[in-house]
Structure 1
Amino acid sequence: MVISFIADHKLRFGVEPICRVLTGHGCKIAPSTYYAARDRMPSKRARSDETVWERIEVLQADRSKGRGVAGYRKMWHLLKREGLQVARCTVSRLMREHGMQGARKGRRFATTHPDHASARPPDLVHRDFSAPAPNRLWIVDWVR
């Protein structure tokens, strides 16, 4: 995160001044740390994630397979069918990180229907649910 911040602002301020300011504010980073991280090869996980994500995008765009509605479970099964062995949690993480969700079936429905004509019970505690001591205030909510 710090490395990407430096990379985004290095043209305007320079690497060394940014590192000096960050170190002065408690985020100790040397310019050599930035350059080492910049030149480092991506990790095995990052490379694997990239190939899996590219495949997820292809499947999600394919109307005959993902149809744009597959969640992580269906996507995981589609990837297995394609011959790509990947953990379900990896598919879930990648889809979550990229803001991709499956379509939800059905519609939301109300579980209760309030009766607006019925009388409301009096508010004896005036919406203050804190008690001065144990066993001084008891509140019950009955549902028929």
Structure 2
Amino acid sequence: MIRFVNEHRDRFGVELICQVLRPAVRGFFTSRGYRAAVGRAPSARQLQDDLLVPEIARLHAENYGVYGRRKMHALMRRQGWDIGRDQTDAS
């Protein structure tokens, strides 16, 4: 959601985007919540995901792009990554 607001805030403004999307999108935050989220340091999960995404993409490409979630999870575990299946979506 933050990325969406960042991409469109110059055209529409943060307050308007949040005001329009809040009733339409369950869990969408207010403009105050957006500003708090932008100023926050990245979480441990986000930092780990930033390392995982290129590695998953590389391994997926090495296996001809045919590995699904189950095989990618097993491969990542064999490579020494301690991650759950939800983090190995190869798409």
TM-score past 0.5 threshold: yes
Aligned to 1:44: 44
Residue 29 (structure 1) aligned with residue 34 (structure 2): no
Residue 71 (structure 1) aligned with residue 68 (structure 2): yes
Aligned to 1:89: 86
Structure showing greater relative contact order (alpha-carbon pairs closer than 8 Å, 6 or more residues apart): 2
Q: State the Cα deviation string for residues 33-90 of structure 1 (Å, max 9, x = none).
A: 222211212221222222222211010112xxx2321112221221122111212233
What amino acid sits opposite 1:9 in the alignment?
H
The count of aligned residue pairs is 86
Q: Percent identity?
A: 35
Report the alpha carbon displacement of residue 28 of structure 1 after superposing the two structures with TM: 6.8
Aligned to 2:12: 13
Q: Over aligned residue pairs, what C-alpha RMSD do you find?
A: 2.7
Which structure is larger by alpha-carbon Rg, 1 or 2? 1
Compared with structure 1, are the counterparts of its residues 13 and 54 closer, same or farther at alpha carbon in structure 2 (3 Å cutoff)?
same
Give, in whole Å, the separation in 1 of the partners of 2:29 and 2:50.
30
* Unmatched 5+ stretches in structure 1: 101-144
Q: State the Cα deviation string for residues 10-39 of structure 1 (Å, max 9, x = none).
A: 1123334x26x717x757723x32222112
Compared with structure 1, are the counterparts of its residues 36 and 71 closer, same or farther at alpha carbon in structure 2 (3 Å cutoff)?
same
Runs of 4+ off more than 6 Å: none
Compared with structure 1, are the counterparts of its residues 76 and 6 closer, same or farther at alpha carbon in structure 2 (3 Å cutoff)?
closer
Compared with structure 1, are the counterparts of its residues 13 and 48 closer, same or farther at alpha carbon in structure 2 (3 Å cutoff)?
same
